[in-house]
Amino acid sequence: TKLWCIKEICLIIPILNTLQKRIVALSEKHIESIMPGYTHLQKAQPITFAHWCLAYNEMLLRDKLRIDDTLKRTSINPLGSGSISGTAYNIDREQLAKWLSFNTATSNSLDSISDRDYLIELIATATISIIHLSRLSEDLIFYNTEEANLVELTDKITSGSSL
C-alpha cells in the first residue's frame, strides 16, 4: 500500500508543478488586466487578473508542500516488522528500504504493522487540493457567465448541458 501511495504521489507532484507554471505564465500576461474582485458573488474591490491567478498559485504551493510532507512520512519501509515484533530472518532493514526506494525503515515494528496514518494523510491532502481545484473551476465558470463576462472558455472544455 505504501509503494502504491508513493507511486501516486509521484504522479501528483508533476501535475501540480505544471499547473503552477501555467498559472504563473497566465498571470504574467495579465499583470495590468483589471477586473472586479468578487465577494459573495457581488462586485467588490478592483483587482488584476494576475492577482486572481496568483491566489491559486499560493493554494497550489501549499498543496505541494503538503504532498511533499506526505511523501516523506509515507516513504518509511515497514517490511521486516513481521506480524508484530519483527522477523527471525537476518535482514538489513535499512538496505531493504533503499532497494525498495524508501527513505528509511520504520523504528518500531508494533507501530509499523498498524500504521495507516499515511493513507489518511494522502486522502486529506488530495481532498484539500481537489477543493482548491473545484474553487478554481467554479470561479472560471462564473467568470464565463453572461453576467460576469470576464473570460471565454473554449468549447473543448464546456458544453451547454449539465450532463
Does the pLDDT at position 105 exceed 80? Answer: yes
Active site residue 129: no
Residue 159, pLDDT score: 74
Give the active site residue among 83, 159, 161, 162. Answer: 161
Sign of the dihedral through C-alpha 120, 121, 122, 124: positive
Residue 162, pLDDT score: 66
Question: Cell for 52?
Answer: 486572481
Give the active site residue among 40, 83, 107, 159. Answer: 40
Active site residue 40: yes
CA distance 24 to 132: 16
Instruction: Work out the average pLDDT over 11-16.
Output: 96
Instruction: Work out the average pLDDT over 52-60.
Output: 98
Q: What's the CATH code, domain 1-35+44-78+115-144?
A: 1.20.200.10
Residue 151, pLDDT score: 93
User: What's the predicted TM-score (pTM) here?
Assistant: 0.88
Instruction: Assign residue 132 a region (left: φ > 0; alpha: ψ between -120 and 50; beta: otherwise).
Output: alpha
